[in-house]
Amino acid sequence: MHHSTAPHTRLRRTPLLGALLSLALIAVCPAVLANEIEPGLWEFRTKMDSPDGSSPVAAQMAQMQEQLKNLPPEVRKMMEQQMAGAGVALGTGGEGMSFRVCITPEDAKAGPIREGQQEGECVYSRVQQKGNTWSGRVTCSEPQMQGDFTTTLHSPSHHTTEARMQGQSIGTMTMQTESRRLGNDCGKLSRRGR
């Protein structure tokens, strides 16, 4: 499943936003592992941490969430429209980051994530499946980072992903993502194109 990066490119105005979009793709892409998931509107709640204190992203993300809350309404609306055009909506509530993605029936049927598959600026390798769990390595070029992920499919409408990423601009980060299907209606979110 290869998606156009054009909408994402317009959003990459800062290294932090570029890192967050890449990390969002890492959380979403293993979700579309097999035709066992249901299409529709999904919510991904991601918590990021820097176990060794080397990652500025966690602190910058909290700062960015505060800035998002304080944006003038017209600027926030423009940003939300750009992101919706890319099939993503960011939330700022609670710990970490939440975002919503519209997964099409085609995405849900695309089959397992595979060796060499590219999503945005990231490429997957060493992909393995054992039962309802997939694991592998992901390497991203913008920003430069790499790490390992494990995704467990709990049901067709619920899965979890854990990843540990390292990169010069992000330091060492761990991510835990809880993903749940919210329903059929994607609302104003564009369906992610192939």
Instruction: Express as a percent the part of the chain with pLDDT over 70.
Output: 63
Contacts 24+ apart (CB under 8 A), 81-85: 82/7, 82/10, 82/11, 83/11, 84/188, 84/189, 84/190, 85/7, 85/190
Residue 45: beta bridge partners? 98, 178
Per-residue pLDDT for 18 more than 60?
no
φ/ψ of 192, rounded to 5, equals: -65, 125
Can you read off the two tokens belonging to residue 150? 């494990």
For residue 33, count CB atoms less than 10 angstroms from its CB and return exposed for 0-12, middle for 13-18, buried for 19 or more: buried
4, 21, 51, 57, 120 from 9: Cα distances, Å: 10, 10, 30, 19, 9
Check residue 183 and give its pLDDT: 94
Q: What tens digit of pLDDT does each residue of 156-171 get? A: 899 998 989 888 877 8
Q: What tens digit of pLDDT does each residue of 30-80 get? A: 555 544 788 899 888 888 777 666 666 656 666 766 777 788 888 878 877
The answer to whether the pTM exceeds 0.85 is: no
96, 146, 162 from 166: Cα distances, Å: 18, 5, 14
Q: Is the preceding peptide bond at 7 cis, omega within 30 degrees of 0?
A: no
Check residue 118 and give its pLDDT: 82
Report the mean per-residue pLDDT for the chain. Answer: 74
Kindly state the average pLDDT of the residues 176-190.
Answer: 87
What are the residue boundaries of the structural domains of the chain, listed by start?
A: 6-183
Number of C-beta neighbours around residue 74 at 10 A? 8
Read off the pLDDT band of 8 (50, 70, 90): very low
For residue 28, count CB atoms less than 10 angstroms from its CB and return exposed for 0-12, middle for 13-18, buried for 19 or more: buried
Check residue 87 and give its pLDDT: 59
From the list 105, 4, 97, the residue with the least C-alpha distance to 44 is 97
Q: Token pair 């423009």 is at which residue?
A: 78
